[in-house]
Structure formats: structure tokens, C-alpha cells
A and B are shown apart, each in its own frame.
Chain A
Amino acid sequence: DQQVKQNSPSLSVQEGRISILNCDYTNSMFDYFLWYKKYPAEGPTFLISISSIKDKNEDGRFTVFLNKSAKHLSLHIVPSQPGDSAVYFCAATDSGTYKYIFGTGTRLKVLA
């Protein structure tokens, strides 16, 4: 039962260009969405989140967009830098249960 899906296992982008990572969810009870970045042999680190009452949240080079009707969110990284190369996980939670469900991850490679 994949409630949170990231359909692109990998993405390559040139340095300086925009990286767009996508995530779809099925559970309409989810009301908080997060993006995490993970390097090999490390724990996931929080990047940015968005509440279901918003459709956009921006933090520096990172912007998350939420389309509730399509049950879709995306993470935009502009400009992309080689240090952004990592696996990115989207996660969703229902604040009634505080159970966080993660997607399968997208490996981003930013080419210098």
C-alpha cells in the first residue's frame, strides 16, 4: 500500500539549472508534507515542509508546491549545486496520528 509515491527513481541536472522532484500521495487525510535529503550512511535531514492549508512554501533555494486537488507536491531547487546531490524523500503525515509515511526516494545528481 504505497500511500506516498515518487515515480522517478533518479534525476540528473546541470549545475545552476532547476531541479524538480515530484511526489504523489493517495491519502486525503494527510495534512502535512515534508521533504528530506539523505546522504549515504546518514540519517535523513529535514529540508522543508508545507501544511495542507498552503500551496507554496519557500526557503532560500528550496520551494515546495502543493496541489491538493491532484494530491501532488513538488520540490524545486534553484539554482542546483553539486552539493545537492543526494537522495530526496518526500513524506506525509496526518496530524491526528503523527504517523509519517515516506516515499521511495529520488536520487538527484547535479553535474558540475
Chain B
Amino acid sequence: EPEVTQTPSHQVTQMGQEVILRCVPISNHLYFYWYRQILGQKVEFLVSFYNNEISEKSEIFDDQFSVERPDGSNFTLKIRSTKLEDSAMYFCATFDIRGPNTGELFFGEGSRLTVL
């Protein structure tokens, strides 16, 4: 079964450092998302990406965050200068806009970011 893969599974970084989280979407999916979940809290929408540009972003997704598809297969989330409150589980998700309309988002296993 096709799956969304994310790396790294866990990253520990110092406050102020840059972090890049990587996602390999399901190959024929065209809509990509980043969500995050702070421990014990809800799964929060960060950004959606379609046709090589940001489709929607939340108020959390400020100038410290950016996304790109550097090579046509990976989908990355970059945090330029990490803060303590960026510590969370970051999930990549993809959606087949052309597929049967179950509306299903496929999630990766997540990347745990710990900012010290």
C-alpha cells in the first residue's frame, strides 16, 4: 500500500537553529500538507501546497516557516530559527485530488522535533 514517508523520525536541536523536515508524498498525489501536534494537544493545520505553491496557511505558519518541493519528489518544511514552542510532532499528509472522493488525507508517521 502506498505510504507517506517522513525523515527524520526525531530531531533534537538548539533554539535558534534551522531545521528541515522532509516528506516523500504518495507519488500520484498532488495536494500536500504539514500539520503539527504539540504533546497532548490537537492536530493543527500549518500549510497546504498545490501546484508548486502554497494554497492555504494558518496563523502559526509565520515567516519562520517555509515549504518547498526541491526536486519534484520531496516536500520539505523548514523552520529558520527554532523556538522552544516549536517542539512538536510534525505530520506530512497528502491528498489525491483526482481520486475517488473519500476525502482521505494520508498521513506520514511524523517527525518529532525537540527544541532545547
Name the residue in B43, B55, B56 with the highest tally of chain A Cβ atoms < 10 Å from its Cβ: B43
Q: Does B87 contact A (CB under 8 A)?
A: no
Contact present for B42 and A103 (CB under 8 Å)? yes
Contact present for A43 and B110 (CB under 8 Å)? yes
Contact present for B56 and A89 (CB under 8 Å)? no
Summed over the interface, the residue pairs from A and B with CB atoms below 8 Å come to a total of 65
Q: Mark A90-112, 1 if CB is under 8 A from B, else 0.
A: 01010101111111110000000
Q: Mark B12-31, 1 if CB is under 8 A from A, else 0.
A: 00000000000000000001
Interface residues on B, range: 20 to 34
Contact present for B43 and A89 (CB under 8 Å)? yes
Query: Given known contacts A102-B43, A104-B42, is B103 in contact with A43 (CB within 8 Å)?
Result: no
Cβ–Cβ < 8 Å partners of B106 in chain A? 46
Contact present for B103 and A44 (CB under 8 Å)? no
Interface residues on A, range: 20 to 34
Interface of A, helix, strand, loop or mixed by DSSP: strand
Contact present for A34 and B103 (CB under 8 Å)? yes
A selection of 16 A-B contacts at a CB cut-off of 8 Å is A34-B105, A38-B43, A42-B109, A43-B91, A43-B107, A43-B108, A44-B91, A95-B101, A95-B103, A98-B56, A99-B55, A99-B56, A100-B33, A100-B93, A104-B41, A104-B42
